[in-house]
Amino acid sequence: MEDIESDALLGSDIIFRPIQLADIPEIHLFPVTYGDSFYKRLLKPGFFTVAAISKGQVIGVATARYEQRSYFDKALSYVIQRNRHSYLCTLGVRQDFRRKGIGSALLQEICRVVAKRGRCHSIALHVKTENRAAVDFYEKHGFIRLCREYQFYEIRNQLWDAFHLIKYLDDINRPHMSPLSLMLSSFFIMIITIWSTLTFVPRRLYSRVQYLLEEELPT
């Protein structure tokens, strides 16, 4: 599998490459615990992964996928004239390696990979509003807030709000926001926010059933 070059952390012993099957048992970096089936799915086509490796150990991962778009997202994408988007599924650095620039390097790499290999114009993500460190981190890296989604995450039976953030990946494709398109996109963002609030319960039920079915299926 091809290694990924990185401009960041040049001169250190850290290398960046896609996640491999053998890495999966080692990846327990996040506040949310994902099962092995989650990571196995990330190795399939349509997903992009970057692992930071130091002395043979995985010290950080970033994973992304093409964004599955809802009807309203498609309408919004029409207004801002974009057609290929990605979504950051996870980003995490091992606790003892934080604040050394590794998260920034991983984010830089995954953005480069989805822009170059996936030909995506943007990368979006959700982050818990309470996770100030991560919100600051993403905003420092040029992400902007699309909206706040209420009770987006359910973690150990507790519900948490999330910010929906987005970063545009190149200046050429940055949307030109005329007053009309700004007004239209604000309207669509309002509709999306109302829609996501109203459909929260059915969507949670659907994803829970899907998750339970996947856990039951033999791999």
Contact residues for ligand COA (CB under 6 A)?
A: 30-31, 90-93, 98-104, 127, 131, 133-134, 136-137, 140
Position closest to ligand COA via CB: 103
Enclosing H/E stretch for 115: helix 102-116
Residue closer to ligand COA, measured from CB, 100 or 195: 100
To ligand COA, the closest distance from the beta carbon of 135 in angstroms equals 9
Residue closer to ligand COA, measured from CB, 31 or 46: 31
DSSP label at residue 142:
T
* 49 vs 43: CA distance, rounded Å: 8
Residue closer to ligand COA, measured from CB, 5 or 130: 130
| Tokens 């057609």, residue located | 83
Residue closer to ligand COA, measured from CB, 8 or 43: 8
Residue closer to ligand COA, measured from CB, 137 or 150: 137
| Cα Rg, the chain, nearest whole Å | 18
* 182 vs 176: CA distance, rounded Å: 9
Contacts of 116 (CB under 8 A, 6+ apart): none
To ligand COA, the closest distance from the beta carbon of 107 in angstroms equals 8
| Tokens 């239209």, residue located | 184
4: left (phi over 0), alpha (psi -120 to 50) or beta: beta
Count how many residues are written for the chain.
219
To ligand COA, the closest distance from the beta carbon of 105 in angstroms equals 7
